[in-house]
């Protein structure tokens, strides 16, 4: 027998049907059916929604007291800025903006501290600004590992919780990591490369970023990529190119030199969103028959995907990462709800046939 009692209207209006739907990972219509005891909901889903409503029963008073006190919670987002090289970081920023629009009514403000992906010192400077401010929680993309460790150690000392997105640093005490499973993402790229390769030619792995030795995401992806071929016991000739000078001219010159030495390259795996750099080079040099695999649903990449210069894009919901990262801080600091330590994003494969139906 189900002893669950339907919550009062006061509870529901304060907590919010949206919040219940989000925590249960169901639609607003499903929550409405449960609240009004309508049909069309499985017993398992009904029980899940009811348990969440029951768990939230005590929170209206907490929220009411906090709103009455006038306290403002300040979150900091420490992420790369959108650059001329790539607009990838517009997607997480859009997710952050979406979260802010939903949470503003609860006295939550989000401050953006944007750093240059090509300038390690800019990360340090923005981090220092955060530490000198009265910040309650931080959303962080740890693009520079050593500097991120120093920054998060300082956050630990000050008691400031932080959430990682895009890439993780497992040694640190983050509240949560929300992003791709980097190793398996690279492993999937290896599987795609095998389909493209069909046992012919060489494979080029390209990482285009300053300070590449310190960029955890590229290392883990390449480890997964190579492991795929090891596990399948497939002999392949893999060439590495770590390109730290990220201007278009510098990248094209390095690729020109590489193709001069290895004209039999037939597949290229790019470890980040700058895959369109490679596609542009191939187009300008009129090099055909080379399959290109890379990351992220951004305008430049989609342009070359539709042209057939990029074969596959691997996408991992960057807008959702920004959104869920902010919501994780909200759940932890305001609602006092336990959040998962790791929340992996789906690994989606985008082609020119299905890109129109994808959303970041």
**Residue 44 pLDDT exceeds 70:** yes
Q: What is the DSSP letter of 6?
A: P
182-315: CATH topology is Rossmann fold (3.40.50)
Query: In the predicted model, what is the mean pLDDT of residues 110-115?
Result: 96
Local structure of 288: helix, strand or coil: coil
- Residue 63's pLDDT is 57
**Residue 33 pLDDT exceeds 50:** yes
Q: Where in the chain is the domain with CATH 3.40.50.2300?
A: 72-178+318-344, 182-315
| Whole-number percent of the chain with pLDDT over 90 | 65
Joined together, the tokens standing for residue 327 give 């919501």
Q: Where in the chain is the domain with CATH 1.10.260.40?
A: 9-58
The fourth-level CATH superfamily of domain 9-58 is: lambda repressor-like DNA-binding domains (1.10.260.40)
Higher pLDDT pick, 338 / 67: 338
343-354 pLDDT, tens digit each = 999 999 999 999
CA-angle at 165, arms to 160 and 170, nearest 5°: 75
58-85 pLDDT, tens digit each = 455 555 555 555 678 999 999 999 877 7
Higher pLDDT pick, 53 / 169: 169
Query: In the predicted model, what is the mean pLDDT of residues 286-302?
Result: 95
pTM of the model: 0.80
- Residue 13's pLDDT is 46
Please tell me the least confidently modeled range out of 100-104, 184-188, 202-206: 100-104
- Residue 217's pLDDT is 77
- Residue 191's pLDDT is 96
CATH 3.40.50.2300 is the classification of domain 72-178+318-344: yes
Sheet with strand 137-140: strands edge to edge: 108-115, 73-80, 137-140, 162-165, 176-179, 342-344
Query: In the predicted model, what is the mean pLDDT of residues 266-289?
Result: 96
């Amino acid at each position: 027998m189900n002893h669950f009692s339907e919550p009062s209207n006061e509870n529901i209006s304060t907590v919010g049907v949206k919040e219940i739907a989000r925590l249960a990972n169901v639609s607003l219509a499903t929550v409405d059916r449960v609240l009004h005891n309508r049909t069309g909901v499985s017993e398992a889903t009904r029980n899940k929604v009811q348990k969440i409503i029951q768990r939230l029963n005590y929170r209206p008073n907490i929220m009411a007291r906090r709103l009455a006190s006038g306290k403002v919670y300040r979150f900091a987002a420490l992420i790369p800025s959108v650059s001329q090289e790539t607009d990838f970081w517009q997607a997480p920023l859009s997710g952050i903006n979406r979260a802010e629009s939903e949470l503003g009514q609860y006295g939550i403000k989000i401050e953006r501290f944007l750093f240059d992906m090509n300038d390690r010192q800019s990360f340090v400077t923005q981090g220092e600004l955060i530490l000198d401010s009265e910040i309650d929680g931080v959303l962080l993309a740890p693009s520079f590992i050593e500097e991120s460790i120093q920054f998060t150690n300082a956050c630990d000392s000050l008691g400031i919780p932080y959430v990682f997105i895009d890439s993780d640093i497992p040694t640190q005490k983050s509240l949560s990591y929300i992003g791709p499973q980097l190793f398996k993402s690279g492993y999937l790229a290896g599987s795609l490369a095998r389909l493209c390769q069909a046992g012919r030619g060489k494979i080029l792995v390209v990482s285009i970023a300053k300070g590449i030795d310190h960029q955890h995401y590229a290392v883990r992806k390449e480890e997964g990529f190579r492991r795929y071929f090891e596990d399948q016991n497939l002999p392949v000739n893999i060439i590495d190119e770590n390109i730290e000078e990220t201007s278009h001219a510098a990248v094209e010159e390095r690729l020109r030199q590489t193709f001069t030495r290895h004209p039999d390259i037939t597949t290229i795996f790019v470890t980040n969103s700058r895959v369109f750099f490679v596609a542009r080079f191939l187009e300008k040099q009129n090099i055909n028959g080379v399959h290109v695999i890379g990351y992220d649903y951004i305008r430049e990449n989609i342009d070359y995907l539709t042209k057939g210069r990029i074969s596959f894009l691997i996408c991992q919901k960057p807008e959702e990462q920004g959104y869920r990262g902010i919501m994780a801080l909200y759940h932890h600091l305001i609602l006092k709800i336990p959040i998962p330590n790791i929340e992996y994003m789906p690994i989606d494969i985008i082609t020119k046939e299905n890109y129109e139906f994808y959303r970041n």
